[in-house]
Structure 1
Amino acid sequence: MAILWKIDPAHSEIQFKVKHLMITTVTGYFRTFNLEVETETEDFHTAKRIEFTADIDSIDTNNDQRDTHLKSADFFDSANHDQLRFVGGKYESHGDEAKLHGDLTIRGITKPITLDVEFMGTVVDPYGQYKAGFTVKGKIKRKEFNLTWDAVTEAGSVVVSDDVRLMAEVQLIKQG
């Protein structure tokens, strides 16, 4: 019998980091997201379904003007593509570390990616909920997903890097 796990949004965060002017890093978050995982047992090596979505309109980089630009057609085009989606495929585990292979869809473009996953353990919280924790990291090239806006400074520096680092702290709650 399959076990369903759902994300605990109060104890999870989804973020991305991008170099700006190649001298600093801007951090952004998706504030509204969902993740469901189905496993055969309480062991995540048996994961058979992993589905994640994030609402584009929930982007938060701590700068309203930049957030509006990221939601525009120059980047995510939230008017036509309201979510990004990751569907996990193969979960290869080596102890507490794993590789999660799956398909990421942004702006209607789907590409395979591999994420590094660190299993942080399981615990029963003070309310009797059985929880599992993970740290997830990865990297994508934004231009592969048609996030192609570019600008160059007068001195010739790139304004926004093509490399985007993905990071997530995820806490799942066992359902039922």
Structure 2
Amino acid sequence: MTGTDPAQQEQAHAELSGDYDIDVAHSRFGFMARHAMVTRVHGTFNDVDGVLHLDAGDLGRSTARVTLVADSIDTGVEQRDQHLRSNDFFDMPTYPEITFVSTAINGSAPSFEVTGDLTVKGITKPVTVDVEFTGAAVDPSGNHRVGFEVSGTLNRRDWGVNWNAAMEAGGMLVGDKVTLEIDISAIRRQE
């Protein structure tokens, strides 16, 4: 999304613009939350589907739609994952998907903000995340790829993910703040 003269910029914009599918094998939809007030627990959602529409000439006209299969949550500890899948946290049998649909993009590449509607447990609320465009390339298979790093913080209680337990020494077992740690590689659809 860079270039020195207008003709180069226009060509670069045309080469980057289009519809992209998220390449799940080369992306990571991660998160982090505090546990026992002393450590961080990291996790990912492994089953993800997403489509990006990139308008490199007018980033504000770009869009993103992402669906996470809630049951694919993975923190590396099966007992914890089962608890997260239960009604105490995500109630995944009732709410099998978590979705994000962009509503606005502000700023310009390489760093910009994306605002959208995040739906968790049937509750939809707006969130804004920071996005860093990390580059574009043609891979050995001839696929046109783009990359993004996404970060942000949200309060899980805003979406009804309220379970917690008091600790003997004071404080709560699970922090309310959830930090998003997302790396996206997306492949442009063939015309």
2:174 equivalent in structure 1? 160
How many residue pairs align between the two structures?
174
1:104 aligns with 2:118: yes
Superposed CA offset, 1:112-171 (max 9, x none): 000000001111011110000000001110001000001011111210000000110000
Which structure carries more strand by proportion?
1
Which structure carries more helix by proportion?
2
How do 1:86-97 and structure 2 match up within 5 A?
86-97=100-111
Rounded to whole Å, the distance in 1 between the matches of 2:121 and 2:63 is 22
Rounded to whole Å, the distance in 2 between the matches of 1:103 and 1:46 is 16
User: Which AA in structure 2 matches 1:6?
Assistant: D
- The percentage of aligned residue pairs carrying the same residue is 37
1:16 equivalent in structure 2? 31
Rounded to whole Å, the distance in 1 between the matches of 2:162 and 2:32 is 16
1:124 equivalent in structure 2? 138
Which runs of no fewer than 5 residues in structure 2 stay unpaired?
1-16
User: Which AA in structure 1 matches 2:160?
Assistant: N
Partner SS state of residue 76, structure 1: coil
1:33 aligns with 2:43: no
Rounded to whole Å, the distance in 2 between the matches of 1:44 and 1:17 is 32
User: Which AA in structure 2 matches 1:20?
Assistant: H
1:141 aligns with 2:145: no
User: Is the 2:109–2:132 contact (alpha carbons within 8 Å) kept by the matching residues of 1?
Assistant: no
Partner SS state of residue 65, structure 1: helix
1:113 aligns with 2:99: no
Q: Offset at 1:44?
A: 7.0
1:60 equivalent in structure 2? 74
Q: TM-score, normalised by structure 2?
A: 0.87
2:83 equivalent in structure 1? 69
User: Which AA in structure 1 matches 2:65?
Assistant: E
Rounded to whole Å, the distance in 1 between the matches of 2:61 and 2:88 is 36
1:171 equivalent in structure 2? 185
Rounded to whole Å, the distance in 2 between the matches of 1:116 and 1:75 is 26
Superposed CA offset, 1:33-86 (max 9, x none): 0110123x4557154431001011100000011000000000000010001000
2:7 equivalent in structure 1? none
User: Is the 2:105–2:113 contact (alpha carbons within 8 Å) kept by the matching residues of 1?
Assistant: yes
Rounded to whole Å, the distance in 1 between the matches of 2:61 and 2:110 is 15
User: Which AA in structure 2 matches 1:25?
Assistant: R
Q: Offset at 1:95?
A: 3.4
1:82 aligns with 2:126: no
Between structure 1 and structure 2, the one with the greater Rg is 2
Which runs of no fewer than 5 residues in structure 1 stay unpaired?
none
Rounded to whole Å, the distance in 2 between the matches of 1:98 and 1:80 is 34
Partner SS state of residue 128, structure 1: coil
User: Which AA in structure 1 matches 2:154?
Assistant: I
Partner SS state of residue 66, structure 1: helix
